Amino acid sequence: DAKTTQPPSMDCAEGRAANLPCNHSTISGNEYVYWYRQIHSQGPQYIIHGLKNNETNEMASLIITEDRKSSTLILPHATLRDTAVYYCIVRVKTSSNTGKLIFGQGTTLQVKP
């Protein structure tokens, strides 16, 4: 699976949009971009995933560049409860492989009042 690069930490003001970048310059054509987050002392939580089109759900939006070498997770109105480590992961989404997730160091997002 392709390696991802994320900034180690970011701050965001409560109520503002949080934009978390991820570089995945070696991504293959059949690899999806996944985002998970881990709030302190909890297990990781799935947020969103996409292949090449932008995606939106009730939690966040995912913007993937046209060349697919980078993406941005957007939390439109960050709250204090969004303070967590955010992981960007790329992997093949098929039933023929294990589907294991390879986590990097992630970005620690601190939402401040």
**Sequence-separated contacts (24+) of 52-61 with Cβ below 8 Å:** 60/35
Please state the closest distance from residue 13 (CB atom) to another protein, in A.
26
Site for another protein in 24-43 (CB under 8 A): 34, 41-43
In the complex with another protein, the residue whose CB is nearer, 21 or 44, is 44
Site for another protein in 92-111 (CB under 8 A): 92-106
Tell me if 81 contacts another protein by CB under 8 A: no
Q: How would you class 77 by CB atoms within 10 Å of its CB: exposed for 0-12, middle for 13-18, buried for 19 or more?
A: exposed
81 in helix, strand or coil?
helix
Specify whether the CB–CB gap between 108 and 85 falls below 8 A. yes
Q: Which two tokens stand for residue 76?
A: 């439109």
Please state the closest distance from residue 71 (CB atom) to another protein, in A.
17
Tell me if 44 contacts another protein by CB under 8 A: yes
Binding residues for another protein, rule: CB under 8 A, are 34, 41-46, 49, 85, 87, 92-106
